[in-house]
């Protein structure tokens, strides 16, 4: 996406300095922003902070001032390493040490190795249910972009439905939700969900992706409701949150309206050339100012 960000690097540094001065005075940002009770817990994707598949993501998110981290199951290179007991232990220890929650899991590798066709991905998704239960997570993001795109692929959609039907009973038993994130519309997502026939298969709603596709995100969120939205990504590729196409005040209001109680998770929201940490400190402050 072309960069038309309002904040310059200098402005970001200025904002970071202000937040740092608050810390020097002995006032945490959480205390400063909690004059009203927060309705939503705020998390971030490990890949958005350049720490995919790394336990250091938890400490980094805590430093930003967040409540949680969405972590990746792994990659082809590490054989989906979160399936290993030792790796799970390392993440749990880091979560305790940093007093931060692992908010959910994600299998981003499905963008490269598609769930709709690659045989090994059935095992990945099945195993991820076990991992989520062990890690105390309730949601697993299943990605359908790039090689996994479902748009105009009826055979791919049929295969995804077949595979989800097969794994859904396991997810139901474990109390884990499989969230479909794709370029599809709310109606197209509902077609898949209804065909699978499980309350544990839902939509992972990304406001930026839906906006990019030209969907009316407020109408779609209402249409899906809390029954079908398992988690929400706040994103503005190439922009800070609040300085792109998405009206996050309206997003918050409609989430309130439908009674959504899940996590809100920041994804890509860093202008070109801007400092990553400073950007997400600013993004977190912006989100906290609205989602209260």
Can you tell me the distance from the alpha carbon of 139 to that of 178, in angstroms, rounded to the nearest whole number? 6
Q: What is the pLDDT averaged over residues 204-212?
A: 97
The percent helix, strand, coil of the chain (3-state, each to 5) is: 50, 15, 35
Average pLDDT over residues 244-267: 97
- What is the per-residue DSSP string for 119-168? THHHHHHHHHHHHHHHHT--EEEEEE-GGG--TT-HHHHHHHHHHHHHHH
Superfamily classification of domain 37-290: Divalent-metal-dependent TIM barrel enzymes (3.20.20.150)
Q: Which helix (H) or strand (E) holds 178?
A: strand 177-182
**Do residues 152 and 184 make contact, with C-beta atoms less than 8 angstroms apart?**
no
Please tell me the number of Cα atoms within 13 Å of 160 on its side-chain side.
29
Q: What is the pLDDT of residue 35?
A: 37
Convert the pLDDT of each residue in 129-159 to its tens digit.
999 999 999 999 999 999 999 999 999 999 9
At 64 the pLDDT is 97
Q: How far is CA 68 from CA 112, 143, 211, 238, in A?
A: 26, 20, 25, 23
The answer to whether the beta carbons of residues 138 and 132 sit under 8 Å apart is: yes
- How confident is the model at residue 10, as a pLDDT? 46
Round to the nearest angstrom and report the end-to-end CA distance of the chain: 29
The pLDDT score that the predictor gives to residue 275 is: 97
> What is the predicted pLDDT for the residue at 39?
74
């290179």: which residue's tokens? 77
Tens digits of residue pLDDT in 216-230: 999 999 999 999 999
Model confidence band, residue 205 (pLDDT cutoffs 50, 70, 90): very high
With 60 as the cut, is the pLDDT of residue 36 above it? no
Q: Is the pLDDT of residue 5 over 80?
A: no
- The reported pLDDT for the residue numbered 6 is 36
Question: Is residue 17 scored above 70 in pLDDT?
Answer: no
What pLDDT, in 10s, does the model give residues 230-242?
999 999 999 999 9
Q: How many residues does the chain have?
A: 292
Q: What is the pLDDT of residue 118?
A: 98
pLDDT surpassing 60 at residue 26 = no
Residue 15 in this model has a pLDDT that exceeds 50 = no
Segment 151-190, tens digit of pLDDT: 999 999 999 999 999 999 999 999 999 999 999 999 999 9
């Amino acid at each position: 996406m072309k960069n038309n960000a309002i904040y310059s690097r200098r402005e970001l540094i200025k904002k970071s300095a202000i937040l740092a001065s608050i810390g020097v005075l002995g006032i945490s940002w959480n205390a400063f922003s909690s004059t009203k009770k927060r309705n939503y817990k705020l998390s971030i994707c490990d890949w958005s902070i350049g720490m995919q598949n790394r336990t250091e993501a938890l400490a980094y998110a805590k430093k930003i001032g967040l409540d949680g981290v969405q972590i990746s199951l792994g990659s082809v290179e590490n054989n989906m390493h979160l399936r290993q007991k030792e790796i799970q232990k390392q993440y749990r220890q880091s979560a305790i040490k940093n007093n931060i929650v692992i908010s959910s899991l994600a299998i981003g590798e499905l963008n490269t190795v598609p769930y709709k066709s690659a045989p090994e991905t059935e095992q990945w998704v099945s195993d991820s249910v076990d991992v989520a239960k062990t890690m105390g997570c309730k949601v697993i993001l299943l990605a359908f972009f790039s090689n996994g795109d479902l748009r105009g692929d009826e055979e791919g959609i049929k295969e995804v439905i077949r595979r989800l039907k097969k794994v859904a009973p396991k997810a139901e038993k474990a109390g884990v939700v499989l969230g479909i994130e794709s370029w599809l519309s709310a109606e197209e997502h509902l077609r898949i969900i209804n065909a699978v026939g499980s309350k544990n298969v839902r939509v992972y709603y990304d406001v930026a992706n839906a906006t990019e596709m030209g969907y009316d995100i407020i109408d779609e969120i209402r249409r899906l409701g809390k029954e079908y939205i398992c988690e929400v990504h706040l994103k503005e590729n190439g922009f800070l949150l609040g300085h792109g196409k998405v009206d996050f005040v309206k997003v918050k209001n409609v989430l309130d309206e439908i009674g959504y109680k899940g996590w809100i998770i920041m994804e890509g929201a860093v202008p070109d050339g801007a400092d990553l940490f400073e950007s997400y400190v600013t993004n977190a402050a912006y989100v906290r100012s609205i989602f209260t």
